[in-house]
Every structure is written in structure tokens, then in C-alpha cells.
Amino acid sequence: MAKLIVSDVDVKDKKVLIRVDFNVPIKNGVIGNDNRMVAALPTIKYVTDNGGKAILLSHLGRIKSDEDKKALSLRPVAEHLSELLGKDVEFVPVNEGAELEAAINDMKDGDVILMENTRFQDIDNDFGKRESKNDPKLGEYWASLGDVYVNDAFGTAHRAHASNVGIATAMKAANKPAAAGFLMEKEIKFLGDAVDNPVHPFVTILGGAKVSDKIGVIENLIPKSDHILIGGGMAYTFLAAQGHEIGKSLFEADKVELAKELLEKAGDKIVLPVDNVAAVEFSNDAKHEVVGVNIPEGEMGLDIGPKTIALFKDILKDAKTVVWNGPMGAFEMSNYAEGTLEVGRALGNLTDARTIIGGGDSAAAAIQLGIADKISHISTGGGASLEYLEGKELPGIAAISNK
């Protein structure tokens, strides 16, 4: 069912509650990677340019104590947003009560306010985690503050919180619109098309530490993909399932049977490393070498090897849809980064394909390579994009009004 988009709704003179994902890294008040903020700008600008009042809500980190509250205030985020938008953003240091309500009442069309971290509601009350456990009263309260709700926080769409599912539910109950923002729309379009309607050949690339994190994705994408390329730590459980020696590489003993089943189900769709970079220790300074498919005793596989890189690139060159989630090795260490960087370069070189990167480490690799603008879509949600690729319905999306 097509979802209502912010551009379908009249925002002029309206109080528009926008749930953004400003969960950005902050150290000593300074914001690190602000991609998620930049990605939310089109929706905020659309609302203010069309005469709406933008009332922003976001979580930041996890709040378990008063100490956390000091470290995880959204105040520096409001300052940075003001720079990004080139206009004043009023920070309201609470997210409930008279001070917030007065600030909203004083807003003029085109104004922007950011209220304090929604997860401050997770402590110091009778309910417990009011935001993260979706206290319906909190969703109702926030919904009462606006005329229109817009959810642009794809990164939290796999969770049912008061600021996404709670508000949307209360808005709909009050016959008020709960729409998707442009970032949410883009995420649904790219991930949805890849999963439901891929142009073939469709190549899925999976890596990262654990098989257990990616089982759902593999199961859902085996029938849809033409090839599933597997690298990273998770590859070694599959190689072990095939009877190869894996030395002291990452290994999930309780997933070997499942790996065997998946290999059987996938036929020759699953492509595993044919060579590896192996080291004696998990360290960039450790003695390392290129080895074949078997890892010598006492060594661990930390990257895919040059033959595997060539094999993966050869498969990728004809791809028309590519989904990539997870690094091909311990890429934070320069000696084991080549596989991940080469896969990123191969994606960047595809001019006639839809290329999609699930958030997290693979997105970081694309940015490090400076090829982010050559990728069709880099998801802003790691966990959310994985659950989407698993074929699950995400509660944050389900709660948005249908057209």
C-alpha cells in the first residue's frame, strides 16, 4: 500500500511535527558524521518553505541515568542544524509541558524548533521507558501538539517507539495525517524496489562479523538474488560448513548446520571466498599473508584475498541491482581493508545499475572512498535496512497513513 508523503499534505500555517533521526555521534559537544542530519534537510525545508511550522523530535543515544542526560542533550545538534539550514533553530530544553507548549504557540510560519531528546522520557517516571516502550499517553501528548505528523526517521523504523508509532497512531485516531518524509520515501523506494522488484542480474553482497545477524536477509534474498557474495568474518562459518580449514577465524559453531542448509538451498548462488588474507593475530601489525581457501592452523582470515576480489568484481560487472551490507574483512585495519574498499570501488564504477548500501560499516567504507555520490542509495538505517531486507514489516512504516 502506498504511503502518504509530506508533499501530499497541506502544511501551510500548520504545526508540523517531524520525527527526524538526529542520532549522530557527538564528542565534547562537537558533531562527527552529520549525514543523517543532511539527509533530513529536504523534508524540513519543504515544510518551512511551504509556510509550515517545523517542530522536530529525535532521540540521541540511550538514556539510563542523569549522567547520560548531560552527555546526550540535543542542544549542540540544534546549533549545527541552524548552520545547515542557514536560519535560526530554537532549542527547547524539555520535550513535555508548559515551556514546550509556549514555544510552539509562539512559532511563526517557517520557524523551526527542536525539542530535547525524546529518550529523556525513558527514566524518572512511573511507566519506565515511556519513549522506547511506546507509552501510548506520550504518543497522544506529542500528537496533541501538532496538526500534521511526518516521520522521516528511517533509522528507527524497525522499533515501535512513542515518537514514531505512538504519535502516528494517535494522529490517525484524531483524523490527522501521519505522513512519510522524503528520506523515508527514498529509503522505502530503493530498498522496496530491490527486494520486491529488482532488475536482474541482482547481486547481494554480505559481510561483517556474524552469520547470525544476516540469516534473515540470506533466507529472504536467496530466491530473489542471482548471486549472493559472502565475505567478512561470517564467511568462515560457511567455509567450515563446506569442510574447509578455517584456523582460528571467526566461527559460529551453532550456525554450521544452518550454513549447510542455506548453501544447499542456494545452489551455486552463494559465492564464498576462494582465497584470504590471514594473520596470526587480530592486529594490523601482525604477520599476515595471502592464503588459499584453507586458513593455516594458528592463523585467522581477516580479509578476502586478491582472487576473491577479482571473482566478486567479475560477477558485479554485469549487475543491474546490487545490495551491499557488511564489510569484507576487518577493514578498520589498513592491512585488511582492501577487500572492502575494492568492493566499494566496483560498486562506484557501475554506471548502469541500482546500487544500494545498507547503513553502518559499508556506508562508512563508501564515504571513506569518496564514492558515496556514485551509489544510488546509501541507507541511513543499519538495523532498519537489514530488517527491511529480511522482508519484515517495519512498525514505524506500517504506522504511517496510507494514501
**Which residues bind to ligand AMP, rule: CB under 6 A?**
208-210, 213, 232-233, 250, 301-302, 326-327, 329-330, 332, 360-361
Tell me, yes or no, if 45 is annotated catalytic.
Answer: no
Closest by alpha carbon to 383, among 151, 175, 217? Answer: 217
Give me the least distance between CB of 124 and ligand AMP, in Å please. Answer: 32
Question: Which residues are 354's β-sheet partners?
Answer: 321
In the complex with ligand AMP, the residue whose CB is nearer, 101 or 213, is 213
Report the residue number, 159 or 288, with the smaller CB distance to ligand AMP: 288
How far, in Å, are 170, 235, 256 from residue 14 at the CA level?
Answer: 17, 52, 56
The string of DSSP letters for 191-204 reads HHHHHHSPPSSEEE
Nearer to ligand AMP, 210 or 320 (CB): 210
* 149 vs 238, beta carbon nearer ligand AMP: 238
Residue 256: CB minimum distance to ligand AMP, A = 17
Cis peptide bond upstream of 198, omega within 30: no
Q: Which of 146, 181, 329, 360 is catalytic?
A: 360
**Among the options 15, 210, 260, 313, which is catalytic?**
210
Question: Is 133 in a helix, a strand, or coil?
Answer: coil
Q: Scanning the structure block, which residue is given the C-alpha cell 568484481?
A: 313
Min CB(283)–ligand AMP separation in Å: 11
Residue 209 and residue 231 in contact, taking contact as beta carbons nearer than 8 Å: no
- Residue 378: CB minimum distance to ligand AMP, A: 15
Give the residue at shortest CB distance from ligand AMP. Answer: 208
CA–CA dist 96, 138 (Å, integer):
9
Among the listed residues 36, 119, 176, 224, the single catalytic one is 36
383: annotated active-site residue: yes
**Toward ligand AMP, which CB reaches closer, 180 or 302?**
302
| 39 within 8 A of 94, measured Cβ to Cβ | no
Report how far residue 186's alpha carbon sits from residue 204's, in angstroms, rounded to the nearest whole number. Answer: 20
CB of 156 to ligand AMP, least distance (A): 18
Under 8 Å between Cβ of 16 and 54: yes
Cell of 18: 517531524
Tell me which residues are annotated as active site: 36, 210, 360, 383
